[in-house]
Structure 1
C-alpha cells in the first residue's frame, strides 16, 4: 500500500479487539522506528515507554479521563515524554551531538527563557508522534493518540524522573464494530484548497 492509501485508511480507533495482541516482532519494529524518529539538531529530548503489563495499563487507564476503555481494550499503550530538566538535556547534547548542533542550541535556544526551551523540547516529541502513527498504519496496527491524560499521575506511575508525560497512544487491532473506521464513517477534512496553497 502506498503512503497516500495509508493516509486515507488510517484513523483514530475508538474500540479495540481486546483479545488480539500485537506480535512481539511488530512491537520491536515500532521501538526501532521511534528510536529513529527525526528531531531538530538530532536533539532526541524524549523517552518512550511501551506498556503491555495489564496491571500498569489499568492504572494508567484509570487516570486517562475519557480514554479508559480504549486503553484497557488495546494491546499496548505507548507513553511519550519529554525531558523536563534543561541542565540534563544540555549534558546529553554535549556528550552526544557534533559541535555544529551544540552551537545552534547555544546560540538560538539557550538564551531563551526556560519555559520556551521546554516548549521547544516538547515540540520534538510531537514530530515523533507523526512518525509513529504512520509506522503503525504501515504495519496494519490501529492507533489512538490521546492528550486526555493526567500527566502528573502518569509520571508517578511510570517513575519518569526528569521527564514529563505529554500524551499517550493506544495501539492494537480495531473492533469490527468500531463506528469510527473510514468504512463506516468517511473521513472529514476541510477542502484541500482551503489548507494547501502553492506559490
Structure 2
C-alpha cells in the first residue's frame, strides 16, 4: 500500500533544517486537511499558520522549550471553535446552500436541526467535540505532509492557555487543541534513522 509507505517515511521530526516551505506547498497540505471528514460536515475547528519567526520564538516559551517550534518553517495550530453555535453552523449552511442549491426552507430546516444538536451540548462538551474533530483532521494533515515530503511533529505538550493568550485566540472564539511544526528535516536529526516502533498487528487487532 502506498499509504503504508507514507507512514513509514514520516516520523516526529525533532530537528528542522530551517529550509522554507513555499506557500503553494503549504496550501496543498492545508487543502487536503480541509477535505477531511468531520461530524455533520461542520468542521468546528480551523488551522492557524504562524510564519513569523519572532512570534514562534515566543511560543517556544509556552512549549516547554521545544525549539522546533521556532526552527521549523511554519507552525500550524489546530484550534477548536468555542464561540457561539452560529459561528459553527452559519458558515456551513452558507456553503451548503450555495453548493447544493438549497431552497430557503431546506436551508433553514438544516440550520435549525444542527443548531438544536449543538445547543443540546454544554459549552465544555462542544469544545471537547470540536477537539476530537480536529484530531481527525490531524491524521489527514500528517499523511498529506508525507505525500508532499514535508516533515512534521504533532505536539500536545504545550501550554494551551498561554498559546491562546499569545495569539489572542479567545477574542476570535478559538481555543488551541495542538500545534504541529512543519518543514524539512535536518541531516543532523538522528531520530530519522531510528526504527519505527509500533504494536504488531496481532496485538493491535482485537477480534470479538
Bucket of the pairwise TM-score, normalised by the shorter protein: 0.7 to 0.9
Moved more, 31-40 or 130-139: 31-40
CA, structure 1 residues 28+96, in 2 after alignment: closer, same or farther (shift >3 Å)? Answer: closer
2:55 aligns with 56
1:96-135 equivalent positions in 2, closer than 5 A: 96-97=95-96, 102=111, 105=114, 109-135=118-144
Q: Kindly state the Cα deviation for residue 193 of structure 1 after the two structures are TM-superposed.
A: 1.1
Contact 1:79 1:169 in 2 (8 A): yes
Contact kept, 8 Å, 2:77 with 2:178, in 1: the verdict is yes
- Report 1:26-105 matches (<5 A): 26-67=25-66, 69-87=67-85, 88-93=87-92, 95-97=94-96, 102=111, 105=114
Q: Which runs of 4+ in 1 moved over 4 A?
A: 90-104, 106-109
Alpha-carbon contact 1:66-1:148 (below 8 Å) kept: no
TM superposition score normalised by structure 1? 0.86
Deviations 1:74-133 (A, max 9, x none): 111001100012433344455555578656645655323332222111111111111100
Partner of 2:103: none
Which moved further from structure 2: 75-84 or 103-112? 103-112
Please state how far the C-alpha of 1:58 moved relative to its aligned partner: 1.1
SS at match of 2:197: coil
Q: What RMSD over aligned residues (CA atoms) do the two structures have, in Å?
A: 2.3
CA contact (8 A) 2:156 2:178 kept: yes
Q: Secondary structure at the match of 1:59?
A: helix
Q: TM-score, normalised by structure 2?
A: 0.83
Q: Which is further off, 188-197 or 28-37?
A: 28-37
Partner Cα separation in structure 2 for residue 196 and residue 71 of structure 1? 35
Q: What is the CA deviation profile of residues 16-51 of structure 1, one whole-angstrom value per residue up to 9, with x for unaligned ones?
A: 112x11122211212322322221111111121111
CA contact under 8 A between 2:11 and 2:152: conserved in structure 1?
A: yes
Runs of 5+ in structure 1 lacking a partner? Answer: none
Q: Which has the higher helix share?
A: 2
Distance of aligned partners of 1:106 and 1:193 in 2 relative to their CA distance in 1, 3 Å threshold: farther
Asked if 1:153 corresponds to 2:162, the answer is yes
Match of 1:4 in 2: 4
The yes-or-no answer on 1:191 pairing with 2:190 is no
